[in-house]
Every structure is written in structure tokens, then in C-alpha cells.
Copies of this chain bind each other. A is one copy, B any other.
Amino acid sequence: MDFKIIVMENKNYTRVPKQERSRETKQSILKAGLELFSEKSYYKTNSKEISKRAGVSIGSFYMYFPDKKELFKELLIEYHKQIRAVLENIEIESYVNSGKRRDFLNYLINKLIEAHYIYPEFHQEINVMALTDSDFIKVNEKSKAESIEVTKTLLHIWKDQLRIKDIEAAAIVVQTSIEEIVHVLIFSKHKAKNKKIIDECTDMLSRYLFED
């Protein structure tokens, strides 16, 4: 899924392959769900509204999703997929040997912000649901564990230069700090401050992880 709307540019071409149309409909429901869950939260959004926003009937909604929860679940999975995609595109090579550890940390934080920016409000909503519904807790815990694992891997690359002893605990501290600061930055109203905060965060992590 990509969250872009596929705008039909040519209404003259009559025949849209059935499968295509079908995919489109599902897309539009996913998109509407993403928007509304983000705007007003899961509990304040009802299926009628999602359908309306998607420009389809309620019947269609239930053709593609057995229930509202399932729609959320699909969005959740998609969301994590995208975050993962960003993390997997991180270019470590140029930093790892050049000793530009601080630059790397900066780059990492910015990448993560970018990843979460896809749909910041949905990020919130995910947290909400993850806390509310046992079905989502697992998905979220798994996702968090994976993030910590990625962090651990990254730390291992600088293994020899680290001043910290317990990589496991450090990974948790680092990952948690970054994640939450990214969160703050995304919702910050004073975007001006953001650069400063990123710099401080970079400084903090740099001092923590490495001997100067």
C-alpha cells in the first residue's frame, strides 16, 4: 500500500480492470481509515464515516474488512513496514570508518523523524490502540523489540569505540530516548527549537556512547 491517492485522470477510458478497481476501493478505504483514525481517533470514527470519506458504501467497507478493527490492524502493519523500510535504507558505510560518529547520530535521528513523519497523528493513534486493545499490544511490542534489536546491531558496529559496557541496556536507553524525542519533535509547535533539540540529543548520545 502506498498512501497516495490514485487519481483517475482519464474518466473516458471506460474499462478499469476489475482487480484494479477492487484494489482501488480497498486503497481508498485504507486511506480514509488512516486519515480519520489520525484525525479523530479510532473510537470516535465509525464505519459509516470511513466509507463516506472513502467514497464507497458501508457494504464495500465490509466487503474488504471483516470489521473496523481489522482495518486498523492492516494500517498498523503497513505503518511498521514503512518505518522498517526507512531504517533499512540507512547508509552506515560512509560514517562508520570516517569516525564521524556524531554525524551519524544526527543522521539517524533525522531519518527516524522522517520515518515517523509519514503520518504523525497515526503514530499517536497506534500508541493509543496499542495500549487499549490486547490485539495490538503484541504487534507493538514486537515492533519495539525489533527497533531495539536494530539499535543493538548499530551499536555493535562501533563496538570498539564504545565507552559503555552493557550494550543491551544501552540499546534500550538509546532507542527509547531517540524514539520519544522524535515524538516530541514531531508534535512540537516551536519548530524553531527543533534543530537545537536534535543537537542536544545528538550531544547527549554521543557523550554517552563514545569517549571523546
Contact = CB atoms under 8 A, between A and B. Distances in A.
B180 A179 contact: yes
Interface residues of A, number: 34
A145 to B, nearest CB: 11
A173 B181 contact: yes
A166 interface: yes
A79 to B, nearest CB: 15
Contacts of A108: none
Given A127-B128, A164-B200, A207-B207, 20 more contacts: A41-B131, A41-B132, A43-B132, A128-B132, A166-B196, A169-B197, A169-B199, A169-B200, A172-B184, A173-B177, A173-B197, A173-B200, A173-B201, A176-B177, A177-B177, A177-B181, A179-B180, A180-B180, A204-B207, A208-B208
Contacts of A131: 41, 124-125, 127-128
Contacts of A164: 200, 203
Interface string A144-175: 00000000000000000000101011101100
A125 to B, nearest CB: 7
A133 B181 CA distance: 22
A18 interface: no
A179 B203 CA distance: 19
Interface of A: 41, 43-44, 124-125, 127-128, 131-133, 164, 166, 168-170, 172-173, 176-177, 179-181, 184, 193, 196-197, 199-201, 203-205, 207-208
Contacts of A197: 169, 172-173
Contacts of A203: 164, 208
Contacts of A166: 196, 200
A96 to B, nearest CB: 22
A85 B99 CA distance: 46
Nearest to A193: B169
Nearest to A128: B128
Contacts of A181: 172-173, 176-177
Contacts of A177: 173, 176-177, 180-181, 204
